[in-house]
Chains A and B, each alone.
Chain A
């Protein structure tokens, strides 16, 4: 009876995916345990919720997900519009929607709804993909990205547009179009510069020379690079990082947790982390390659690459080679929302993998 229940429970679970995620969660608990010990319990709770979400989603067949695509996207857009109209302002940005009993961040929804919608769109036009379809896809992508960027939330805008772009790219957007768009984008960069908010511009400027404002905007990057650099090859040991323990690292349990981890576990720890991410991403790409439908392939590929984007942007920013855009380190940073979104993605990957043979049958 119990055995039966257990088998049923683990039936939709993909072993390797769960294994790699579990190892990353272990790293997360170690890092949070050092950066902010009092939050470990809360993070354990977050993990429990996220795993439950994963398990539920993993059971849904991809067809059902397909049906959810359009409603989820439309709902997301509506929420974003609502935020723009009635949202709460915090730290100069309008990101939150107060529902009375809770505050939600609708841009988070878009991280999954976006690839879902585009994958659904390409699946629908599978028979005959024309350039016009790509153009429509780009429009579907730009609408929410513009709303998010307007809040402004550069980090989420980057992640959502990356998610959408991955779908379009994997769907086969011709190379010449990609290169052409890239060139046009580069040409348009100076105009985009003028559209940025002052704080966004200064973040970009500070990226190139953090020392130009060592007490102000450059402080975060300087302190996190000092933390990483002083960690050396083997690190200072758990709980021994002076940069972390003496609070020189800002936001050390959330966006900058990598600096804490890297200071205490060194280059070796970083290598382990990169390796775990590579395994997770590799498994995701494999699932995408084996997926049954175009929708599944695109969705699995995009979700996997979102993981990569999160990891790369975060580690790049903390180590000082990318601008500070407020992206958490996937599965490691403290916080429930991002964790749930990520495990939702993992759940979808599991579902796709589970159902890879269905159509063939």
Chain B
């Protein structure tokens, strides 16, 4: 209890007031310190953050380069289309939104499936297509209802288009949406900035191999945005630079004729210009439609392509490895001449079989060919000649000579993922097998190697390259599909592979012996029926690759399941004196080479050399005479 004392009370009030005043100053000083901290000491940081808020870099994706054939026929191009896209981060209930969209637009189950697949793969805040290729009418309908769908928008996008559909698909490849593996490749090349905004990436074929040529340079627009992310104005703009165009060595018309020549059969054909290594046609059938992959393939098509027994996704020209069969013989003969193991005129006697190590190797011609020199051995495809030759040459010589022709190693063609095939040798066997008894090379194994069977397995492109090298008198080129790359900005053209890879140490007289014999094949030998009446001189060799061993039993064609039938092969070049084209054909389960493969080669050569168009797919010549294949 205290009594009033005005003076004392006034003093106390004054004290309290002074305290309050001091407190006010203290608090203001505190605020001032905070301002100094924010506006002087941390100013640069906040300045940057304000700029980041304000300026948004909007990437402008460049047009992907075109792919055209040697005559400027467009094989891959771009077109603009509207897509309906959802930005998942801006949509509360995705399912509900899609359901509502389905009430105004046609959204099918496969669209939903694709969307969910993309959603599972995407990680950033990108927008994903729920519908592609909207019609103008659909765009109008959506625009009218846009207010109901925040986070959903119509976007104009460039799409890749392969105008011929299921055509040349194994050489063109396809593009698809960027995935983790693609991102790694982009990071390896430090190209992340250039790929901002890019949604597609080459997955196979030329689209994959030349991805960084085709992509172009991404442009950027510096846009001032408000808090809602809406663009207020453009501050600066760097235009995108379209990707480089690829001009192929491929002749699309020839490719078309070659593909059609197969009919509904499976197989591969590689045709090369011997003097350059430029690939004129690269067929692997069946094809698939690369357009299916562009907006993300739906699972139904994907399953179909992958489970089909015809394996349309396999690039047989590069990834199918087949025994070369008798197409191996000209190269064996060339090796024998080069190594001095045979002279051309030297003859052997063929009784129809060859005994080695207690095992009988049969010649397909009962009773044998009698006296056989090198010419006859090739023209009539005499097995016994090559059984003996293989034994005389030895596996190491065979392997090193065939290896020098490029067999059993990647050709380096400008498509990724090429297979090596198998060039059999004792070293290869040691590496290939685990158990010591399997690792040993048996001399008997060398014998069947000589006729292109056994462990021999080469890709059609390797056979084509070896044929082209022979046709080109031992000057070897790397097979390639792109003739030149055109910079769309400057028009500058860069040639691909104009220089030979190497020149083999071969004698011209030896080469001429082999070429002459191969001419004989098409004139009077196993290829004669297929090339009857040709208005040019061609050189060829038929071949048949055993799918599985018959263990000496007679091969009866009609009585076998189709997938167990032999593969038919044919190699050829023409014109024989000045080869413009060299090729290798493989028809899976086609039977004899002369029967199935040679007629395809005939159509291709007829068109390429004479411009002659075939009337129908190359017929299988059921009456073709097979000698020793």
Contacts and interface: CB of A to CB of B under 8 A. Distances in A.
B227 A267 contact: no
Contact of B225 (A128, A246, A305, A316): A246
B260 to A, nearest CB: 59
A248 B28 contact: no
A267 B36 contact: yes
B53 A243 contact: yes
Interface stretch (A2-10, A112-120, A151-159, A269-277): A269-277
B17 A321 contact: no
A266 B31 contact: no
A301 B20 contact: yes
Given A169-B16, A248-B227, A267-B35, A229 B46 contact: yes
Nearest to B41: A229
Interface string B16-35: 11001100110110111011
B13 interface: yes
A289 B16 contact: no
A271 B4 CA distance: 43
A232 interface: yes
Contacts of A319: 31, 34-35, 38
A180 interface: no
B355 interface: no
A166 interface: yes
A312 interface: yes
B553 interface: no
A267 B12 CA distance: 37
Given A170-B16, A289-B17, A312-B31, A246 B224 contact: yes
Contacts of B1: 128, 130
Nearest to B224: A246
A261 B584 CA distance: 80
B303 interface: no
Contacts of B20: 166, 169-170, 285, 301, 305
B148 interface: no
A132 B532 CA distance: 129
A166 B14 CA distance: 14
Given A170-B20, A278-B25, A228 B35 contact: yes
B34 A321 contact: yes
The residue in B21, B28, B45, B224 that gathers the most chain A C-beta atoms within 10 A of its C-beta is: B21
Interface in A213-245: 223, 225-233, 242-243
B443 interface: no
A266 B32 CA distance: 12
Contact of A233 (B21, B40, B232): B40
B9 interface: yes
B39 A267 contact: yes
Contacts of B14: 289
Interface string A12-24: 0000000000000
Most A CB within 10 A of own CB, among B1, B3, B53, B226: B53
Interface string B463-495: 000000000000000000000000000000000
Contacts of A321: 30-31, 34
B579 to A, nearest CB: 69
Contacts of B40: 232-233, 267
Interface in B90-141: none
Given A172-B16, A266-B39, A274 B225 contact: no
Given A128-B1, A247-B227, A285-B17, A226 B31 contact: no
Contacts of A179: none
User: Which of A126, A230, A288 counts the most chain B CB atoms within 10 A?
Assistant: A230
B42 to A, nearest CB: 5
A182 interface: no
Nearest to A246: B226
B204 to A, nearest CB: 40
B234 interface: no
A228 B375 CA distance: 94
A262 B35 contact: yes
Nearest to B52: A226
A277 B21 contact: no
B100 to A, nearest CB: 25
Contact of B28 (A126, A278, A297): A278
Nearest to B10: A297
A285 B14 CA distance: 10
A47 to B, nearest CB: 25
A281 interface: yes
B184 to A, nearest CB: 30
Contacts of B224: 242, 246
B47 interface: yes
Contacts of B36: 267
Contact of A247 (B30, B35, B228): B228
Interface string A167-184: 001101000000000000
Nearest to B15: A172
A270 B54 contact: no
A229 B4 contact: no
A282 B18 CA distance: 10
Nearest to B50: A230
Contacts of B25: 278
Contact of B50 (A128, A166, A227, A312): A227
A172 B9 contact: yes
A308 interface: yes
B227 A170 contact: no
Contacts of A243: 50, 53
Nearest to B25: A278
Nearest to B42: A229
B43 interface: yes
A225 B24 contact: no
B226 A247 contact: yes
Contacts of B46: 225-226, 228-230
Given A130-B1, A271-B32, A308 B38 contact: no
Contact of A229 (B30, B43, B54): B43
A129 interface: yes
B43 A232 contact: yes
A270 B37 CA distance: 13
A195 interface: no
A274 B32 contact: yes
B49 A230 contact: yes
Contact of A278 (B2, B3, B24, B54): B24
A229 B47 contact: yes
Nearest to A268: B39
A315 interface: yes
Interface in A291-305: 294, 297, 301, 305
A297 B11 CA distance: 12
Nearest to A127: B4
Nearest to A247: B227
Contacts of B51: 242
A259 B27 CA distance: 18
Contact of A170 (B3, B13, B47, B225): B13
A305 B39 CA distance: 27
A170 B50 CA distance: 44
Contacts of A282: 21
A228 B31 contact: no
Contacts of B12: 172
A127 B6 CA distance: 10
Given A170-B13, A319-B35, 20 more contacts: A130-B2, A169-B20, A226-B46, A227-B50, A228-B39, A229-B49, A230-B49, A231-B39, A232-B40, A233-B43, A242-B53, A246-B225, A246-B232, A248-B226, A270-B31, A277-B28, A278-B24, A289-B14, A289-B17, A312-B28
9 contacts: A130-B1, A170-B13, A172-B12, A230-B46, A231-B39, A289-B14, A312-B24, A315-B31, A316-B34
The 6 closest A-B pairs by CB, nearest first: A229-B46, A230-B50, A229-B38, A246-B226, A247-B227, A267-B39
